[in-house]
Amino acid sequence: MRYAPQMLLIGSSGQNTGKTTLAKALIKAWKSPLFSAEGLPLVALKITSVAHRGAVCPRGGAGCGACVSMSRDFVLEEEAGAGPNKDTAQLLEAGADRVFWLRSLYGSLAAAYTHFLEQIPSKGLIIAESNSLREVVVPGCFIMLMNTAASKVKPTAARVLPLADLVVQGLPEDLDSVISRIRLVADEPGGIRLTLKGV
């Protein structure tokens, strides 16, 4: 396990729980001129993990083919801002300094994450969307979003649900109620770590 105190990790029980909506709201809040951590780089990371090459798309159906076509154990791509309907483009538009999409085989996720860290500044904030990453990284704060309309929980979510620092049953319309629970604390030297209020 690798410790990442500067990371907020967002997991979900299934599709359409609001991971990207919450990530965008956090980016906008933390990049605000009123925010005390202004000036720290903020990097967003979206992870898609698959069991093996040619595996069924984790999003269901045929998917986009991006994971099936992987010729390596992992592929890291930086978002350039094209395609307004892409989650990664939305994160960049929300104010993230850099946004990455990491596609990885489960067994290669630790190496893939290390490669990602080599591409970004050592200080700053990371907002990541993934269930599987929690199996190789201990973030400063791990939020699990539960889809109250769905009865099934993805296997990747079920494995890490007991590790969540905060479980949100259905994303509220007022995201400030979630954002206000997260504390950013100055860390030495010049870094930052995340915790939950009351923890």
Q: What is the pLDDT of residue 199?
A: 56
Residues 6+ positions from 48 with CB-CB distance below 8 Å: 58, 59, 66, 67, 101, 102, 103, 104
Of 112, 114, 96, the closest CA to residue 104 belongs to 112
Q: What is the pLDDT of residue 83?
A: 60
Q: What is the pLDDT of residue 87?
A: 86
Note down pLDDT in tens along the chain; length 199 residues: 899 999 999 999 988 788 999 999 999 988 876 554 556 889 999 999 887 555 555 555 555 555 555 678 999 999 987 665 688 999 999 999 999 999 999 999 999 999 999 999 888 899 999 999 999 999 999 999 998 776 789 899 999 999 999 999 888 778 988 999 999 888 777 788 999 986 5
The CA R_g of the chain, rounded to the nearest whole Å, is: 16
Q: What is the pLDDT of residue 190?
A: 73
As a whole number of angstroms, the distance between CA 191 and CA 153 comes to 35
Q: What is the CATH number of the domain that holds 171?
A: 3.40.50
Which domain, by its residues, includes 8? 2-196
156, 38 Cβ separation under 8 angstroms: no
Residue 155, preceding peptide bond in cis (omega within 30° of 0): no
What pairing do the DSSP bridges indicate for beta strands 98-105 and 2-12?
unpaired
As a whole number of angstroms, the distance between CA 51 and CA 147 comes to 23
As a whole number of angstroms, the distance between CA 167 and CA 12 comes to 9
* Number of structural domains the chain divides into: 1
Of 140, 134, 77, the closest CA to residue 103 belongs to 77
Of 117, 119, 116, 92, the closest CA to residue 103 belongs to 116
pTM over 0.85: yes
